[in-house]
């Protein structure tokens, strides 16, 4: 194994515990953390932090999860993020229409709020990712051994299942295996009719 080096970044303006981050172009978006509603951007080239916004006052963050939705039809300077909090079970969008750097509720075509949740299920330590042939499926893994699939086009749950494990999962690592595949391989896979998502869970 070759020698690995780590770069020490500039100190954050504030401290975070259980921070949730997503990468967007050259920026790392730090979307709050445990009982911390502040969101910052870290520019990986400029080595600078910038305040983005705060979560709404009625949101309580505890073991929350943030997922980036890739939408090729959107303006190149916009990003949609989905957020869950175990306390309020919320879903929000960032940078939609003219609400730049604000959290706004996710709504359906009738302007009704969409709650991505399953009743009494706890989402403490939840992890999620987006996949499927058209990147329209939201895969949600959560305590104790649950996985649910939510259709982002119809805003409906389509499947719930138990993972084949004897251990409980929370605060785990849940990633798409295809994210690290070379671009040509991804294009080749996307062209296959029977494309399947491969995901890894490390607990």
pLDDT in tens, 148-162: 898 888 888 888 899
User: End-to-end alpha-carbon separation of the chain, Å?
Assistant: 24
Q: Residue 20 falls within a domain, yes or no?
A: no
- CA distances in angstroms from 105 to 72, 90, 114, 116, 203, listed in the order given: 21, 8, 8, 12, 31
Domain that holds residue 91: 60-202
Q: Residue 39 falls within a domain, yes or no?
A: no
pLDDT for 79 equals 77
Q: What region does 132 belong to: left with phi over 0, alpha with psi -120 to 50, or beta?
A: left
**Short-list 154, 157, 142, CA closest to 65:** 142
Q: Residue 113 falls within a domain, yes or no?
A: yes
Strands 137-142 and 146-151, bridge-based pairing: antiparallel
The first and second tokens of residue 79, run together, are: 């990003």
Between CA 117 and CA 17 the distance in angstroms is 24
Residue 184's H or E segment, with its range, is helix 183-191
Q: In whole angstroms, how large is the CA radius of gyration of the chain?
A: 17
pLDDT at 167 over 50: yes
Q: What region does 93 belong to: left with phi over 0, alpha with psi -120 to 50, or beta?
A: beta
Residue 105's H or E segment, with its range, is strand 103-105
The first and second tokens of residue 169, run together, are: 């999962």
pLDDT at 52 over 70: yes
Region 85-101: mean pLDDT is 49
Q: What is the pTM of this model?
A: 0.73
Share of the chain above pLDDT 70, in %: 74
Q: Residue 21 falls within a domain, yes or no?
A: no
Q: Residue 45 falls within a domain, yes or no?
A: no
Q: Residue 198 falls within a domain, yes or no?
A: yes
Q: Residue 140 falls within a domain, yes or no?
A: yes
Q: Residue 34 falls within a domain, yes or no?
A: no
Lowest mean pLDDT among 75-84, 104-113, 120-129: 75-84
Between CA 129 and CA 82 the distance in angstroms is 10
Total of domains in the chain: 1
């Amino acid at each position: 194994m070759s020698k690995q080096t780590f770069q020490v970044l500039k100190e954050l303006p504030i401290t975070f515990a259980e921070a949730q981050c997503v990468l967007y172009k050259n920026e790392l978006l730090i979307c709050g953390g445990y009982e911390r509603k502040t969101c910052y951007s870290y520019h990986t080239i400029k080595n600078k932090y910038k305040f983005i916004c705060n979560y709404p006052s009625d949101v309580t963050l505890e073991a929350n999860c943030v997922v980036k939705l890739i939408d090729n039809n959107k303006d190149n300077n916009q990003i949609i993020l989905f957020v869950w909090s175990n306390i309020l079970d919320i879903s929000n969008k960032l940078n939609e229409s003219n609400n730049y750097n604000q959290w706004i509720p996710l709504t359906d075509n009738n302007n009704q709020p969409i709650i991505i949740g399953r009743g009494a299920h706890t989402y403490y330590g939840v992890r999620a990712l987006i996949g499927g042939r058209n990147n329209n499926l939201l895969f949600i893994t959560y305590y104790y051994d649950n996985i649910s699939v939510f259709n982002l086009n119809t805003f409906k749950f389509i499947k719930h299942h138990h993972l084949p494990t004897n251990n409980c999962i929370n605060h785990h690592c849940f990633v798409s295996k295809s994210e690290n595949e070379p671009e040509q391989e991804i294009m080749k896979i996307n062209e296959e009719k029977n494309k399947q998502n491969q995901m890894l869970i490390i607990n």
